[in-house]
Chains A and B, each alone.
Chain A
Amino acid sequence: MTTIALMTDANLAAAAVSCAVPLLAFGLVMVATRRHPRLSAGISIAAVSLSLLGAVFLLASNWHAPAPQVWSAAWLVSDAVQIPLGVLLDPVSLLMMTVVAAICLLVQIYSLGYMAGDPGFSRYYAFMSLFAWAMLSLTLSSSLFQLYVFWELVGLASYLLIGFWFEKFSASQAGKKAFVMTRLGDVAFMLGLFVLLVGAGTLDVTAVNGKAAAQMDPAALTLAALLIFGGIVGKSAQFPLLTWLPDAMEGPTPVSALLHSATMVAAGVFLFARLFPFFSQSPAAMSVFLAIGTVSMLLSSTMAMVSRDIKQVWAYSTVSQLGFMIMGLAAGSYFAGVFHLTTHAGFKALLFLCSGVVIHALGTNDMFEIARKNGRRLKLAMVCMTLAAAALSGIPPLSGFFSKESILVALAGLDNPIWFAAGLLGVFLTAYYAFRLIFIILFPRSELAEPEAEHGIGTAMGSALVILAAATLGLGFAEAPLARFLSGDPAAAHAGPHLPWLPYAGIGLAAGGLLLAWFEFGRPAADQKGFVERVPALEALFANRWYIDAFYARMVSRLVDRGVAWLCAKTDQRVIDAGLDAASRNLIRSSGVLSTLQSGMIQHRLLVLFAVVVMLGLYFIA
């Protein structure tokens, strides 16, 4: 990949420029324009616009390209191990790149309104650019090692942005928790990379998906797959590492919209899609992935059913939908997972941005408070939120319906009906909790507060909402073209058994969830207490996140604080300190003994003299 190639090959140039420009923006803002907030925002938005243009150009020009294009340059070379630096342009990376760039741009425009007046405005945009660079480079990485590097960088950006308001203790704690938990997954990821390197001899994505993996020992392949999935569990907040994502809502809402719904957590699913041929070669690993995805999906749906904080509901929903995507991919349908990833990015970001509008206007996250403060008068936000919630629930003709349906088809194609049943249950629960929130806000029960002075939603925030709403409405109809683009044949959209009743089952369950929510929350006579909340034990279980956090806290306290730390402290005291003390005590004692030699008594000295003579005699005789 020489400079000449950079110049002549338009695709490569576009890819490189799209990736690099946000990095330049980051550097510029951090170094030069910290004191000029509007200038920083301008630089950052310009950079991301450029990236989006590049991404659209690449998508358009390669729409009909048959095979993935790879450019790579030798980077780390040592005997048999070669890790190159490169760019891989294939359908999923182009699609992901476009999604990421688009949502980055929309969120950055939205932040002009949301973060206005914040003292860290420039810093915010700098970190946003950092994230954009890292995420775009991640999607275009040609080798797993390069991907890992950007994976970590994305984690860094997440930490910086979650703890953006670091003066608030809970925010910095949340940032730390996110970083540490994802790091845990990344350790497994790194181990998986080592196993892969040793087993297959290469970390190049194309090779791993192709011949190299086929030559690997099946046990090693399963092990590598499971370990790499560990990284996905961490990054995409699946069970058991799912508790960092609800806490990550401490960050500003645009950050939640960008990172923790649409793009960063989707990086895990993206990796799955990237390595789909590799993972498919190990059916055992795929079943494990399926199980983990199902458990995450159901668990977090239950947690969302009792939450009072609107951002938390959408956070749990993200975990649940990511689990759903992983279910789709693990069931064998590449297209289903990726399509749901794309549509989810759209409507989840929209949900978060609408919530951001509401929070910004009313100053509270609690949904009952919002209802009391007459949140429903924020018309644009409520309309968009209802639209997005409907998409989330899978109500036609919105985008969510199409993507969920393709996943359900894939699940139905599996041997064990339990996965399909779990998927249907998930659809029901999703509709229920989504509309629970909508109805609580739309139909307040308690006293309405005095309506405050209307300050309309700004143009920045409003335009972002509208664009995303349009995407939510329209993306579903792009299913067939996308399927053709991603896998080469349109029939991939419906890979699986042809069950004509399936769409109706999906719609039926979604409608069922909606009706139950209406019955419990929306009806004028309803008391807005869900069926789960009537059972205090269940409510406590769900509200405490199934005690996963408590378990982790206890484990950390036992293992680390009382275990390792205690061990270290005791070693420090008893072994090191005591050793030094004993050494010095013995030194003093021995010097006391030795000092008797210097008694000044001449007879002792004579004794020593004679002893030496005798010993000399012994030496010379013997």
Chain B
Amino acid sequence: MTIYSAIFYLLAAVIVATTALAITRRNMVHAVVYLVVSFFGSALLFYLLGAPFLAALEVIIYAGAIMVLFLFIVMMLRIEESKRQLFPLRQWIPAAVICVGYLAVLAAMISGIEADRPVQIAVALPAAFSVWVFRQGWLVVEVASMLLLVTLVGALVIGRPVKPDETADK
């Protein structure tokens, strides 16, 4: 049990705990904030697993931009807390059944992999990583940027306020 594995398990516990908390909150702001913590944990995990660039990206984009966007929308829409039962049984039971199946599959999948050989420690330096991405994965970069463009345009279009005289066209 090296220090790294201890850190790993700690981080794993944090991630799982906060995610679990996030999905069971009634108050959506609480849920989002818990999730932000979870993503922080993920970022640390990425750093541990030798991807510092990704860790940074995780914090900036995922925890920073996406979750903040969530918060914006939550506050903008002023959604009230639902007073109903949080996990109604009718939806919960099929999900539970699938969980069981899923866990069985997971256990089966994991047990096939060599359980004793720990992964080595390595780091992908950001510079090397970036060079690799632009050299080997240049096509995906282009496609991703096009995707982002499309998303931008789409969000603009969808989010445009509806003028009263335009409802007739829609």
Chain A positions within 8 Å of B, measured between CB atoms, are: 603, 607, 610-611, 614-615, 617-618, 621-622
Contacts and interface: CB of A to CB of B under 8 A. Distances in A.
Given A610-B102, A621-B109, A622-B108, 6 more contacts: A611-B98, A614-B102, A617-B102, A617-B108, A618-B108, A621-B105
A603 B104 CA distance: 23
Nearest to B106: A617
Contact of A618 (B91, B95, B105): B105
Nearest to B103: A614
A618 B109 CA distance: 9
B154 interface: no
B105 A603 contact: no
Interface string B78-102: 0000000000000100110010011
B108 A621 contact: yes
A622 B104 CA distance: 11
A610 B102 CA distance: 9
Contact of B95 (A607, A615, A617, A622): A607
Interface of B: 91, 94-95, 98, 101-102, 104-105, 108-109
27 contacts: A603-B91, A607-B91, A607-B94, A607-B95, A607-B98, A610-B98, A610-B102, A611-B94, A611-B98, A611-B101, A614-B98, A614-B101, A614-B102, A614-B105, A615-B101, A617-B102, A617-B105, A617-B108, A617-B109, A618-B101, A618-B104, A618-B105, A618-B108, A621-B105, A621-B108, A621-B109, A622-B108
Nearest to A601: B91
A603 B105 CA distance: 22
A619 to B, nearest CB: 10
Contacts, number: 27
A496 to B, nearest CB: 97
Contacts of A622: 108
Contacts of B109: 617, 621
Most A Cβ at <10 Å: residue of B94, B104, B105, B108? B105
Nearest to A619: B105
Nearest to B95: A607
Q: Which 8 pairs show the lowest CB-CB distances between chains A and B?
A: A617-B105, A621-B108, A614-B101, A614-B102, A611-B98, A618-B105, A607-B94, A610-B98
Contacts of B91: 603, 607
Contacts of A618: 101, 104-105, 108
A67 B102 CA distance: 99
A614 B94 CA distance: 13
Nearest to B107: A621
A614 B103 CA distance: 9
A617 B102 CA distance: 8
A337 to B, nearest CB: 89
Contacts of B105: 614, 617-618, 621
Contacts of B102: 610, 614, 617
Contacts of B104: 618
B34 to A, nearest CB: 21
Nearest to A616: B105
Contacts of B108: 617-618, 621-622
A617 B100 CA distance: 13
Contacts of A607: 91, 94-95, 98
B94 to A, nearest CB: 6
A610 B109 CA distance: 17
Nearest to B105: A617
Nearest to B104: A618
Contacts of A617: 102, 105, 108-109
A615 B102 CA distance: 8
A592 to B, nearest CB: 16
Nearest to A606: B95
Contacts of B98: 607, 610-611, 614
A453 B98 CA distance: 109
A617 to B, nearest CB: 4
A433 to B, nearest CB: 91
A611 B105 CA distance: 12
